[in-house]
Structure 1
Amino acid sequence: MAVRQLPPISTLSEQQQRGTACTWCAAPLGTGLGIDLGEQRVRPAAGAAYSWFPRECLDALACAGRRVAR
């Protein structure tokens, strides 16, 4: 299975950063839905390091369709 590089955190909404929306298509993800992409650490040039928690849709084909439609 190929692993995609995550998009820059600066391009994502707060919901996408918290894992309540898909990292790729921004569709809402309910509790227990979606695939956990693991805790990610960000070390900005200024300020303190912090974590973000991306998740993606279970249905990759539907996700791709929503991403194209955006």
Structure 2
Amino acid sequence: MTTRALPPVTTLTEAQQRGWACVWCRAALGIGLGVGLGEQRVRPSAGAAYTWFPRQCPDRAACQVREGS
């Protein structure tokens, strides 16, 4: 699990919201890759509540390098 606060879901791409890409660096995460950050529930001011499942890269150091680029 991460100790960082997750970015607002509204700032993320669809791939990041669905766990297909890293929530931090946007690197593609294949099936069985990445670290799940838990189920997240969003209650927007307008519309229905929904759930999203962010994931991050398994290699945090490489992720931080990509994120800084």
Normalized against structure 2, the TM-score is what?
0.96
- The residue that corresponds to 2:18 in the other structure is 18
**Pairing of 1:26-37 with structure 2 (within 5 A):** 26-37=26-37
Detail structure 1 runs of 4+ shifted over 3 Å in the superposition: none
- The residue that corresponds to 1:57 in the other structure is 57
Query: More deviation in 2-11 or 46-55?
Result: 2-11
Q: Work out the CA distance in 1 between the residues paired with 2:19 and 2:2.
A: 21
Q: Work out the CA distance in 2 between the residues paired with 1:46 and 1:33.
A: 33
Q: Work out the CA distance in 1 between the residues paired with 2:5 and 2:14.
A: 19
Normalized against structure 1, the TM-score is what?
0.94
Q: What are structure 1's unaligned runs of at least 5 residues?
A: none
Residues 2, 37 of structure 2: 8 Å contact kept: no
Q: What are structure 2's unaligned runs of at least 5 residues?
A: none
Say what the alpha-carbon RMSD is for the aligned residues: 1.3
Calculate percent identity across the aligned residue pairs: 64
Q: Work out the CA distance in 2 between the residues paired with 1:33 and 1:2.
A: 16
**Displacement of 1:40:** 0.3
- The residue that corresponds to 2:67 in the other structure is 67
